[in-house]
Amino acid sequence: MGLSELLILACTVIFTVIGQLFLKLGANQLAGAGIKSLWDLLWYIMTNLNLIIGLGSYGTAAISYILLLSKVDISVAAPAFSLTYVVSILLGYFFFQEAIGYTRIVGVAFICTGVFFIIQK
């Protein structure tokens, strides 16, 4: 994977994680929104700025991922995309004070090691 493909991968991961952050923020607000029906839920989703930003970020990530797939094999792109798991764990820790246990640290190490080997030519 060359530099341009790595940059596209980075954009894909960043926009995915931004989407996750804003979807989580919007979902956290959902509990106090008084949702009583499917229509209430749809209205909430369409009018909640955090959810709109999150969905927009996911859309941008999808476009970026499509571009990545046009340049590299799916057998490289899909495993490399797993870096979102690593960044998501850090996001949960820093933004939502979620615990990172030993097994998660080991899992992150395996993911990073695997991605390193997969993106080698």
pTM: 0.83
Tokens of residue 43, six digits: 């209205």
| pLDDT at residue 115, as a whole number | 86
pLDDT per residue as tens digits for the range 85-119: 889 999 989 998 999 999 989 998 998 898 888 87
Q: How many domains does the chain have?
A: 1
Residue 58, number of CB atoms within 10 A of its CB: 17
Query: Is there a contact between 51 and 22 (Cβ–Cβ < 8 Å)?
Result: yes
Domain that holds residue 64: 3-118
